[in-house]
């Protein structure tokens, strides 16, 4: 029996709980990357704050005046922060590769529905890494082409007609343009995700698995897009809840600082949980609906 987006997300949420060790693993990996990314800035910030009153001011909230003074004092010519860009780009690249590596294991384990072994998880990560990397590279190339195509269209059309249009017409055209680009990006990302799910779950040649994932998304447009948007709504709700709670905190005491740090870590755990629901929901939707198609084909052959 085919399942829809709500049931797929519900099943996905349960599968993430059953595989809590993978949830913790993803959390610690994110924590590690965040710590490494913070290192280039930590020593400079600590040195500046230790010799000024900015430390106590920052406890009450972000101090924009201090930030501007800090930039001018430490990097008048932009050399320091420009020197950090290569390090940040490398770290972000490694993080993306890590997510590509883990995706195959998440899709495979969550598709099975039970509690997967960590050893099997890493085995699936390794075996599915290059196929999923191929899809990711294709997705990046396609998104870049859409971005450049949009920029070319804007220069060729809006810029030429700019003098003949009123400000309201230009704003209206820009809103439609950005809406179309965002929708195109989401559609590409959606099809890419189900291609990755098919690559991780199915047994076939790479080309057949990619086509099967794309065909699945086209055959189930409401269920696939509903799962995609449902997971996005869960993530947005987690972010909104965090900022609502954080706005009521006053970290002016040691207890307040500890509470804010704890709230931040709980927020990260919930964000990771919502992201894993995304993997698990798509895996459940694809696996159960695809099994139905395979069973129907077998009955027709018999």
Least confident of 67-71, 83-87, 102-106, 204-208: 67-71
Give, in degrees to the nearest 5, the angle at Cα 190 between 184 and 195. 125
Per residue in 199-216, pLDDT (tens digit) is 888 877 888 888 888 888
- For 61: left if phi > 0, alpha if psi spans -120 to 50, otherwise beta; the answer is left
CA 149 from centre of chain: 24
pLDDT score for 297: 46
State the residue range of the domain holding 156.
5-301
| pLDDT above 70: residue 218 | yes
State what percent of residues in the chain have pLDDT above 70.
74
Least confident of 50-64, 88-102, 225-239: 50-64
pLDDT score for 54: 60
Least confident of 22-31, 41-50, 60-69, 242-251: 60-69
CA atoms within 13 A on the CB side of 233: 9
Indicate the pLDDT class of residue 55, thresholds 50, 70 and 90.
Answer: low
Those residues whose C-beta lies under 8 Å from the C-beta of residue 270, and which sit 6 or more positions away, are 238, 241, 242
CB 272 within 8 Å of CB 22: no
- Domain count of the fold of the chain: 1
Residue that has been written with the tokens 């049931």 in this structure:
7
Residue that has been written with the tokens 């694809």 in this structure:
286
State what percent of residues in the chain have pLDDT above 90.
20
pLDDT average, residue stretch 107-118: 85
CB 207 within 8 Å of CB 198: no
pLDDT score for 17: 92
For residue 115, which of 15, 24, 202 has the smallest C-alpha distance? 15
pLDDT score for 301: 44
Those residues whose C-beta lies under 8 Å from the C-beta of residue 268, and which sit 6 or more positions away, are 27, 30, 31
Residue that has been written with the tokens 């990357």 in this structure:
33
pLDDT score for 113: 79
pLDDT average, residue stretch 45-68: 61
Distance of alpha carbon 268 from alpha carbon 98, whole angstroms: 18
pTM for the structure as a whole: 0.76
Least confident of 163-172, 221-230, 293-302: 293-302
Q: At what angle do helices 221-247 and 254-301 cross, to 10 degrees?
A: 170
| pLDDT above 50: residue 110 | yes
Per residue in 230-245, pLDDT (tens digit) is 888 888 888 888 888 7
**DSSP label of 163:** G
CB atoms within 10 A of CB 198: 27
CB atoms within 10 A of CB 202: 19
Indicate the pLDDT class of residue 71, thresholds 50, 70 and 90.
Answer: low
- For the ranges 50-59, 142-151, 241-250, the maximum mean pLDDT occurs at 142-151
């Amino acid at each position: 029996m085919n399942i829809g987006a709500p049931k797929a997300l519900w099943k996905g949420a349960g599968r993430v709980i059953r595989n809590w060790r993978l949830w913790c693993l993803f959390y610690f990996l994110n924590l590690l990357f965040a710590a490494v990314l913070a290192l280039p800035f930590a020593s400079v910030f600590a040195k500046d704050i230790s010799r000024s009153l900015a430390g106590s001011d920052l406890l009450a909230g972000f101090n924009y005046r201090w930030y501007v003074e800090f930039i001018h004092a430490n990097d008048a010519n932009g050399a320091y922060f420009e020197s950090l860009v290569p390090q940040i780009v490398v770290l972000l690249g490694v993080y993306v590769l890590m997510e590509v590596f883990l995706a195959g294991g998440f899709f495979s384990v969550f598709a099975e529905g039970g509690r997967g072994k960590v050893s099997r998880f890493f085995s699936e990560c390794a075996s599915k890494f290059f196929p999923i990397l191929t899809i990711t590279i294709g997705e990046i190339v396609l998104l870049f082409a859409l971005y450049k195509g949009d920029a070319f269209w804007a220069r060729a059309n809006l810029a030429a007609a700019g003098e003949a249009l009123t400000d309201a017409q230009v704003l209206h055209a820009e809103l439609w343009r950005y809406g179309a680009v965002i929708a195109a990006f989401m559609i590409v990302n959606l099809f890419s995700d189900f291609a990755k799910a098919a690559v991780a779950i199915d047994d076939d040649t790479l080309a057949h698995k990619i086509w099967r994932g794309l065909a699945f998304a086209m055959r189930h447009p409401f269920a696939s897009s509903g799962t995609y948007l449902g997971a996005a709504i869960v993530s947005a709700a987690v972010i909104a809840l965090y900022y609502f709670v954080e706005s009521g905190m006053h970290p002016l005491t040691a207890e307040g600082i500890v509470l804010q740090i704890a709230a931040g870590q709980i927020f990260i755990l919930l964000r990771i949980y919502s992201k894993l629901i995304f993997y698990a929901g798509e895996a459940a939707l694809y696996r159960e609906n695809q099994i139905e198609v395979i069973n129907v084909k077998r009955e027709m052959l018999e």
